[in-house]
Structure 1
Amino acid sequence: MKKVKNNKNRKLAFPAPFLRCDPLGHYPILLVVMFLLMGCSDFVEVEAPKNILISETVFNDSATVESALANLYYDMREQGMVAGTYGLTPVLGMYSDELDYYGFNADYTQLFQHNVLSNNTIILDWWKQAYHLIYGANDIIKGVVASDVLTPDETKVFKGQALFVRAYIHSLLVSLFGDVPYIKTTDYRENNIVSRMPQIEVYENIISDLEESIALLEGVDTISPDRVLPDDFVAKALLARVYLYVQNWEKTASLATVLINAFQLETDLDRVFLKGSQETLWQLRADADFPKNTREAVQMIIQTIPGQTYALTDDLLGVFENGDLRLDHWVGSQSDSDNTITLYYAHKYKAGLNETESLEYSILFRLAEQFLIRAEARVHMEDILGARTDLDVIRNRAGLPNTTANTENDLLEAILRERRVELFTEQGHRWFDLKRTDNAGSILGAIKPNWQETHTLLPIPETEFEANPKLLPQNPGY
């Protein structure tokens, strides 16, 4: 498959900060709540009495707490690492071996070519936006616990959801940067002088937050019909992923089983990424105005050549087996006007800019991952038959026969290969898999000329050290 890079530079827009913030993106409580309430026009607007702090008004009214939480999800979709124009999917796709990059933005080129500098603005924005979201979650936790107006069930739901957000964002930070601060307070003076916490302690805090979140959300009616609110099932899905990363196989398998028993896979591959997909565990709602569907579709679908920003690598395309229906249903192609160049793109999300209604939301957790999580855990638990069964569920849906892998090593390789073709261009799963299995060097070293073993961690933004020297030392290699 011939690929040539065009000379069209895609201009990238970055949001201007609402307020000047400290190194971890923290704001005094009055200002952060104002930000939460003003961030999106779809959310409830509250005019506070002039003699009452806005924060007091927020936490004395359930509708405005819901709006504050909803704005955290909105910011996940529109800004920072989770989704949106410069989220995990495109950036880690080209940082690993999923996507070729055809633009000329300097920061993106650094990531694609593995020449990342510590002043890379994408990395800086990820860091600051992540800690901004964490601060917002902490502010909600503090406010709802102190409120004497919210009902006990409302307090449980709001705190449980905010704890999940805090754990989720920290789980991404530790995977990307290694040792990071784990922030649990809104005291900006304290947060200005935090130190980085060892990775194992970060994971211990994530697990603790998720266990508390699950305990608060279980038994309370938090299920939204379109799966846009995190509930106890979503917290369990993240906890299963975290346990997989820290190699607690029994708890991984146990939690994945809960989800597998509670949800069903879509049998039709064309329905998996629709907003009503029955296998979706959590997704970010599309905008009522623009875009009405996902930014992932806008980013990935190639409309014309030249004019593309990303394309699937030949290496990824070569992994699909003959007869794999995912290649037909989840991969699209576009040729230039002379039919001399054909490029392939992720076509999981199909609704682009021209739709008049929202057909697709950005999916962050779905059931297929849990089958593959449990399969991997079962191999390590020496349950070979159970692992094969879980793997075959995903393979059979894709029109493939049962796996022929029988040994532990062969099964682990087969599961990682299946994760690659099932979860491609979804929130950086491929990169995180390469990193956690110690395969990044052997795979990327052969195709990325500038690869160094230290690239398994991104650099801490250099401006953060200037504001808080206690964050030192820098990650090796930067």
Structure 2
Amino acid sequence: MKKLSKTYQIKSWISSGALALTLSLTFSCQDLLQEDVISQIGNDYLNTPKGLEDGVNAAYMSMRAWYGTERGHSLTEFGTDIYTNGADGSWKFMNTYTTDFDTQNGLVREVWDEFYRGINTCNAVIDRSVNVTGINEATLKQRIAEVKFIRAHHYFLLVQLFGSVDLQLSETLIPTKEVSRAPVSEVYSSIIADLEEAIPDLEALKSSNQYGRVTRPAAQHLLAKVYMTKATSEAAASDDYAKAEPLLKSVINDYGYTLLPDFAQVFQFGNERNDEVIWAIQYTRDPLTNQQGNPANNPALNNGNNSHLYFLMEYDTQPGMRRDTQNGRPFKRFRMTSYAINTVFEDRVNDSRYKASIKDTYYSNNLGTNNGTFNTSFDLSKPTVTFELGDTAIYIPGYEMSQEERAKRPYQVLVPSRYDERLFPALSKHLDPGRADLTQEQGGRDFPAMRLGETYLLLAEVQLKLGKLDEATASVNVIRRRAAFSGKADEMEITPAQMTMDFLMEERARELIGEQFRWLDLKRWGVLVERVKLYNPQGAPNIKDYHVLRPIPQNQIDRTQGGASAFPQNPGY
């Protein structure tokens, strides 16, 4: 099966009207054998069949600015009810909502810039397609549908993050400073139009023969989520939820997707392409073809899928342990809140998702120079620990084990009262033991942007909003039965009386933790401020109502003709 993966540098003078900047675009192609880098391409290249294909693949690459990146995770995990900050990193203010979270925020600027680059690439492909000859008509329609999906995807994230944004639907041929913020309703209308036009021309397959291309079910999944989000926005219409329901049912029933029998398999290393993945963002092991965006503008865009860095505790300074590729390089950015650990994942007898998602055991990989005997670091129930290679070195039970019981264990036991910003239960979903060495930041795992587990939860949410309580309960129970430990499926089922929005909020956290949804979910439900105040002690003192939008990057306002009067900043920033 062919894969969209190889990267080409094509220097083009295509400018985004929202940026008023000249760009260099990076193009991918589906040929796994071709390694050549193309440069100095003329303006007419996009008018050729090969140029159009490379332009489409360049648009796909703009997805890497969001998925599997520090900026994408920071904008979706930080400052929520289930994640707070660890010890390290420069972006803690995005969790604490202090005044440092301002219009100069680099992560926000990068997302804005890279998405508008991607949008203008989509616009160029669409506008130039009328000039392209020598390409099969069905293929041409499919490629146009793909870039309409990408354009809709980018605007959907932009409108959720920033509210009204500049709406550019045609190629910007020369730099311009004349931009403005379109109404939210107009942005949603454009998103929906793009997706409705794309769906008939996309492949009606579970997975494209060229893995990584958008297919019809991916567009249906996205359009359903657009309607659900629009339903709680200022652009809401009375039939938004009703329009979402058949789209989600089609994804579930019409293409052959199936939930994997064991939840732990979903994020198992080496199993990234599986029957549950609707659409994934591709990464590679080749630094040339693993970029998140245009590294000529920002070297930080060259780190591949580096999700593996951010959710890990400082295990590598503990007795019997050293850093390795299996356990990961611990950047200690994101740690779960007490609410996430103790309430969301309270049931660990019937529900396998805590065990499958959270790393609870570390095995000794470093005997040091003293025959494997060490003074303990955090578990003071014993003065020393002694390990052979492969012995348990750290165990995290997830509950407050007594000192007497811990003293009987020949390893360190990390209990909740000892959790801090360096030591905490680590998310294991994104670990990448395929990295070249223990220091490598670049990751090469594909990032699943859409999977069937979420589709069922979206359907349950829609059905709950439509008053179809029994159907919503049945949809959630599909997910819960799959999540059960062997023999515990019956205990995992809920009744209609238990099917509430509060329950669904926690169920989405159990299923989707760390998958770049939570901040957007809380905003869609209208409970972001409320739940941060309840469950995130670091964010609670400072979060305000205006934090449901992110700041417009100041450089965007500065380069707009008329400045803030023509392109006003969001309130509060």
How many Å apart are 1:453 and its aligned residue?
0.8
Amino acid at match of 1:445: K
1:266-288 deviation line (CA, Å, top 9, x unaligned): 11222212222211011112213
Q: Alpha carbons of 1:280 and 1:88: their partners in 2 closer, same or farther (altered >3 Å)? A: same
1:183-228 deviation line (CA, Å, top 9, x unaligned): 1111255863121112122111101000111122156x79435841
3-state secondary structure, aligned to 2:251: helix
Looking at structure 2, the residues matched to 316 and 19 of structure 1 have their Cα atoms a distance apart, in angstroms, of 47
How many Å apart are 1:303 and its aligned residue?
5.8
Structure 1 residue 467 and structure 2 residue 491: aligned?
A: no
Looking at structure 2, the residues matched to 293 and 461 of structure 1 have their Cα atoms a distance apart, in angstroms, of 24
Q: Alpha carbons of 1:458 and 1:18: their partners in 2 closer, same or farther (altered >3 Å)? A: farther
How many Å apart are 1:249 and its aligned residue?
1.4
1:273-312 deviation line (CA, Å, top 9, x unaligned): 2222211011112213257984222333446356533322
Structure 1 residue 137 and structure 2 residue 103: aligned?
A: no
Residues 354-365 of structure 1 mapped to structure 2, 5 A cutoff: 354=435, 360-365=445-450
Partner of 1:25: 19
Partner of 1:10: none
Looking at structure 2, the residues matched to 282 and 164 of structure 1 have their Cα atoms a distance apart, in angstroms, of 12
Structure 1 residue 60 and structure 2 residue 54: aligned?
A: no
Amino acid at match of 1:264: T
Looking at structure 1, the residues matched to 130 and 68 of structure 2 have their Cα atoms a distance apart, in angstroms, of 32
Partner of 1:415: 504
How many Å apart are 1:329 and its aligned residue?
0.7
How many Å apart are 1:20 and its aligned residue?
11
Structure 1 residue 114 and structure 2 residue 102: aligned?
A: no
- Contact 1:44–1:67 at 8 Å: present in 2 too? no
- Contact 1:185–1:191 at 8 Å: present in 2 too? no
Q: Alpha carbons of 1:254 and 1:195: their partners in 2 closer, same or farther (altered >3 Å)? A: same
Partner of 1:452: 544
Q: TM-score, normalised by structure 2?
A: 0.71
Partner of 2:284: 287
How many Å apart are 1:23 and its aligned residue?
6.7
Residues 157-196 of structure 1 mapped to structure 2, 5 A cutoff: 157-188=142-173, 192-196=177-181
- What is the aligned counterpart of 2:26 among 23, 33, 36? 36
- Contact 2:155–2:191 at 8 Å: present in 1 too? yes
Looking at structure 2, the residues matched to 453 and 39 of structure 1 have their Cα atoms a distance apart, in angstroms, of 44
Partner of 1:87: 71
Partner of 1:11: none
- Contact 2:84–2:337 at 8 Å: present in 1 too? yes
- What is the aligned counterpart of 1:432 among 520, 529, 534? 520
- What is the aligned counterpart of 1:370 among 447, 451, 455? 455
Greater fraction of residues in helix? 1
3-state secondary structure, aligned to 2:26: helix
Q: TM-score, normalised by structure 1?
A: 0.84
How many Å apart are 1:67 and its aligned residue?
3.2
How many Å apart are 1:424 and its aligned residue?
1.1
- What is the aligned counterpart of 1:406 among 496, 504, 507? 496
Structure 1 residue 299 and structure 2 residue 299: aligned?
A: no
Residues 1-12 of structure 1 mapped to structure 2, 5 A cutoff: none
3-state secondary structure, aligned to 2:359: strand
- Contact 1:440–1:456 at 8 Å: present in 2 too? yes
3-state secondary structure, aligned to 1:283: strand
Structure 1 residue 72 and structure 2 residue 59: aligned?
A: yes
* Unmatched 5+ stretches in structure 2: 1-10, 232-239, 291-302, 318-329, 363-374, 380-417, 438-442
How many Å apart are 1:103 and its aligned residue?
4.8
Amino acid at match of 2:92: T
* Unmatched 5+ stretches in structure 1: 1-16
CA RMSD across the alignment: 3.3
- Contact 2:245–2:462 at 8 Å: present in 1 too? yes
How many Å apart are 1:135 and its aligned residue?
0.9
3-state secondary structure, aligned to 1:194: coil
Partner of 2:261: 267
How many Å apart are 1:317 and its aligned residue?
1.4
- What is the aligned counterpart of 2:428 among 347, 355, 377? 347
Looking at structure 2, the residues matched to 333 and 454 of structure 1 have their Cα atoms a distance apart, in angstroms, of 38
How many Å apart are 1:45 and its aligned residue?
4.6
How many Å apart are 1:153 and its aligned residue?
1.5
3-state secondary structure, aligned to 1:235: helix
- Contact 1:305–1:334 at 8 Å: present in 2 too? no
Looking at structure 2, the residues matched to 124 and 351 of structure 1 have their Cα atoms a distance apart, in angstroms, of 28
3-state secondary structure, aligned to 1:365: strand
Partner of 1:205: 190
The aligned length equals 446
How many Å apart are 1:333 and its aligned residue?
4.0
Q: Alpha carbons of 1:26 and 1:267: their partners in 2 closer, same or farther (altered >3 Å)? A: farther
Amino acid at match of 1:164: F
Looking at structure 1, the residues matched to 147 and 186 of structure 2 have their Cα atoms a distance apart, in angstroms, of 20
How many Å apart are 1:178 and its aligned residue?
0.8
Amino acid at match of 2:165: V
Q: Alpha carbons of 1:155 and 1:411: their partners in 2 closer, same or farther (altered >3 Å)? A: same
Q: Alpha carbons of 1:245 and 1:331: their partners in 2 closer, same or farther (altered >3 Å)? A: same
Q: Alpha carbons of 1:40 and 1:93: their partners in 2 closer, same or farther (altered >3 Å)? A: farther
Q: Alpha carbons of 1:18 and 1:310: their partners in 2 closer, same or farther (altered >3 Å)? A: farther
Partner of 1:314: 338
Partner of 1:8: none
Q: Alpha carbons of 1:477 and 1:416: their partners in 2 closer, same or farther (altered >3 Å)? A: same
1:153-202 deviation line (CA, Å, top 9, x unaligned): 12111101110000001110011011111211112558631211121221
- What is the aligned counterpart of 1:331 among 358, 372, 381? 358
234-243 or 329-338, which deviates more: 329-338
Looking at structure 2, the residues matched to 188 and 269 of structure 1 have their Cα atoms a distance apart, in angstroms, of 48
Q: Alpha carbons of 1:45 and 1:102: their partners in 2 closer, same or farther (altered >3 Å)? A: same
Looking at structure 1, the residues matched to 170 and 543 of structure 2 have their Cα atoms a distance apart, in angstroms, of 38
Amino acid at match of 1:60: T
Q: Alpha carbons of 1:198 and 1:337: their partners in 2 closer, same or farther (altered >3 Å)? A: farther
Amino acid at match of 2:122: A
How many Å apart are 1:250 and its aligned residue?
1.5
Q: Alpha carbons of 1:439 and 1:314: their partners in 2 closer, same or farther (altered >3 Å)? A: same
Looking at structure 2, the residues matched to 153 and 72 of structure 1 have their Cα atoms a distance apart, in angstroms, of 19
3-state secondary structure, aligned to 2:261: coil
Looking at structure 1, the residues matched to 206 and 248 of structure 2 have their Cα atoms a distance apart, in angstroms, of 20
- What is the aligned counterpart of 1:258 among 250, 262, 281? 250
Partner of 2:4: none
- Contact 2:59–2:147 at 8 Å: present in 1 too? no
Q: Alpha carbons of 1:477 and 1:27: their partners in 2 closer, same or farther (altered >3 Å)? A: closer
1:66-106 deviation line (CA, Å, top 9, x unaligned): 333333333422xx3x1243232244211223333235544
- Contact 2:259–2:453 at 8 Å: present in 1 too? yes
Partner of 2:133: 148
Structure 1 residue 442 and structure 2 residue 442: aligned?
A: no
Partner of 2:389: none
Looking at structure 1, the residues matched to 37 and 210 of structure 2 have their Cα atoms a distance apart, in angstroms, of 26
Amino acid at match of 2:567: L
Partner of 1:385: 470
3-state secondary structure, aligned to 2:70: coil
- Contact 2:122–2:147 at 8 Å: present in 1 too? yes
How many Å apart are 1:417 and its aligned residue?
1.5
Looking at structure 1, the residues matched to 31 and 70 of structure 2 have their Cα atoms a distance apart, in angstroms, of 22
Looking at structure 1, the residues matched to 84 and 165 of structure 2 have their Cα atoms a distance apart, in angstroms, of 30
- Contact 2:279–2:448 at 8 Å: present in 1 too? yes
